Amino acid sequence: MAERVVEEIKSMYGVEAAEELLLRFVKKAEVLIKNYCAINNIPEALYYTWVDLSVDLYNLSFNKTEIDGKVASISEGNTSITFAVSKESEQTMLAAYSETLNKYRRFRW
């Protein structure tokens, strides 16, 4: 099913990356979903969540930081403004999908 997710990413998002590279992010998203939900197989209902999370992981790896709009420091001599930079982690990204994933989450002993 991971290969199907790769094809979906290519068709939906027009990502031109090599299949091996996309497959790496698809597998990583698969592991994150399975660990978060404590399941062995990803149900069909989570297919597009898997696709979207894979794309987010792909984008995160090539854009590690982004400016969140907060000013970290200002200098007056030669005028310099430094913006606060945040690093988004995989866990933070996974939290964005928690509402959907919680429906499939199982209790762990």
pLDDT at 104 exceeding the cut of 60: yes
Q: For the residues of 4-70, what is the DSSP string, one character each?
A: HHHHHHHHHH---S-HHHHHHHHHHHHHHHHHHHT-SS--GGGHHHHHHHHHHHHHHHH--EEEEEE
Instruction: Name the least confident of 1-5, 43-47, 86-90.
Output: 86-90
Cβ 67 vs Cβ 16: under 8 Å: no
Q: At what angle do helices 47-62 and 19-37 cross, to 10 degrees?
A: 120
* Confidence bin at 5 (pLDDT 50/70/90): very high
**pLDDT tens, residue by residue, 30-85:** 999 999 999 999 999 999 999 999 999 888 887 644 444 555 566 777 666 565 54
